Structures are given as structure tokens and as C-alpha cells.
């Protein structure tokens, strides 16, 4: 997870300054928690494929979790435990059937709602700074959840099938090259050997 986190932080441009900006404006942004949570779950429960993910009567409990996550993000207090938890959310998503398109779609929706609120609450330059900090933080979160999902899925497959990870990776890569070739996509790298 550490290398994935470092890659995301570097490529996204997330910094300690983002945490500082979020912390300094949390007195305003934390007030949006109810509205964002309501909009988030209204959408999930109104869309049949995502509504099926939840158990009867689960919404209130899930809202508490989302609200706590949101308040953690806007507080700007990004501890190693916070980031590790985001990675584990990927594992939870595998178990619950929350696909990466669902997660990425809802991350985007939260970012859009947050931007709208920033534009209402702050002068343009500050709105851009606050939104940028939030977007970079939540993009790192989305990357960790996505990769945590993939890595957890792969590890589980490796254990279930009884294959070493290197063999699973090689078999998958061979199949991916076959699928790309079938689709007419040519890559500038050679496929793995079938030996």
C-alpha cells in the first residue's frame, strides 16, 4: 500500500498544504455534512443497481460512516491510519459488491457537490484553493480504494486457485494481450512468452 500511496500523492500533487487549507476552512465546510450525505444516499437508493448493495434498514448506519469520513477529510488531519483505512475500504467493497464504477461515480458526485458549495461560500480564489485541496485528497482516497479493491481481489483469487501471484499475473497478462489483439489493438510492447 505504501508505494501505491506514494505514487498517488506524487502524481495527483497532494501535499501537506492541502491538509492545512482544509483544516483552516473546516468551520465552513463541515457544515455541509448533512446536505452532502443526504444527496449521496438519495442518489444511491434511487438507482436500482446501487440500491441493491444495501441491506434493509442499513441507510442510517451507512450515513454515519459517510459523515465521519467527510468530516475526517475536511478536517485535513490525514494520518497514516486514515490512509490505511481507505485501502481497506477496497476490501469491504469486494465483499459488498460495490464496484469501482459505483465508487468512482460517487466520488465524482461528492466532488461536484463540494465544488458547488465552495463556489457559494467562498470568493473565487479561495473556492478554487479549497476545492483543489478536497479534490486532490479525495482523488488519493479513490485511488487507494480502487487499488485496494484490485489487490484484494487478486490476492483472494491467488489463494482460492492455489497459484503463485507471479503465475496469476503472467496468465492474466497473456489473456489481456490475446483480448487486445482480438480487438485489433496493437501495443508497442511484446506479449509475455507462452513457455
Read off the pTM: 0.86
Provide the pLDDT for residue 160.
84
What's the CA gap between 16 and 131, in Å, rounded? 15
C-alpha span between 14 and 147 (Å, rounded): 17
Mean pLDDT in the chain? 90
Of 166 and 111, the structure prediction assigns the larger pLDDT to 111
Question: DSSP string of the chain?
Answer: -HHHHHHHHHHHT--HHHHHHHHHHHHHHGGGHHHHHHHHHHHHHHSHHHHTTSPTT-HHHHHHHHHHHHHHHHHT---HHHHHHHHHHHHHHHHHT--HHHHHHHHHHHHHHHHHHHHHHS-HHHHHHHHHHHHHHHHHHHHHHHHHHHHHHHHHHHHHHT--HHHHHHHHHHHHHHHHHHTTPPPSSPPPP--
Domains by residue range for the chain, with CATH: 2-162 (1.10.490.10), 165-195 (no CATH)
pLDDT tens by residue, 75-84: 998 999 999 9
Torsion, CA 112, CA 117, CA 122, CA 123, rounded to 10:
50
pLDDT at 60 over 70: yes
- Is residue 161 scored above 90 in pLDDT? no
Phi, psi of 50 (to 5 degrees): -80, -30
Grid coordinates in use for 176? 489481456
Residues 6 or more apart whose Cβ sits within 8 Å of residue 144: 1, 4, 5, 8, 83, 86, 87, 89, 90
Quote the pLDDT of residue 167. 80
Amino acid at each position: 500500500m505504501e508505494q501505491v500511496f506514494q505514487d498517488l500523492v506524487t502524481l495527483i500533487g497532494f501535499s501537506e498544504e492541502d491538509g492545512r487549507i482544509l483544516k483552516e476552512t473546516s468551520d465552513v465546510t463541515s457544515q455541509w455534512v448533512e446536505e452532502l450525505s443526504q444527496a449521496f444516499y438519495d442518489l444511491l437508493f434511487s438507482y436500482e443497481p446501487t440500491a441493491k448493495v444495501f441491506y434493509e434498514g442499513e441507510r442510517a448506519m451507512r450515513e454515519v460512516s459517510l459523515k465521519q469520513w467527510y468530516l475526517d477529510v475536511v478536517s485535513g488531519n490525514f494520518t497514516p491510519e486514515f490512509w490505511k483505512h481507505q485501502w481497506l475500504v477496497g476490501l469491504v467493497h469486494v465483499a459488498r459488491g460495490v464496484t469501482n464504477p459505483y465508487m468512482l461515480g460517487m466520488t465524482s458526485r461528492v466532488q461536484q457537490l463540494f465544488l458547488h458549495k465552495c463556489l457559494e461560500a467562498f470568493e473565487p480564489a479561495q473556492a478554487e484553493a479549497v476545492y483543489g485541496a478536497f479534490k486532490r485528497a479525495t482523488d488519493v482516497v479513490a485511488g487507494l480504494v480502487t487499488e485496494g479493491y484490485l489487490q484484494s481481489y487478486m490476492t483472494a483469487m491467488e489463494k482460492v486457485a492455489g497459484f503463485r501471484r507471479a503465475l496469476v499475473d503472467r496468465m492474466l497478462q497473456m489473456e489481456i494481450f490475446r483480448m487486445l489483439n482480438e480487438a485489433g489493438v496493437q501495443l508497442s510492447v511484446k506479449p509475455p512468452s507462452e513457455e
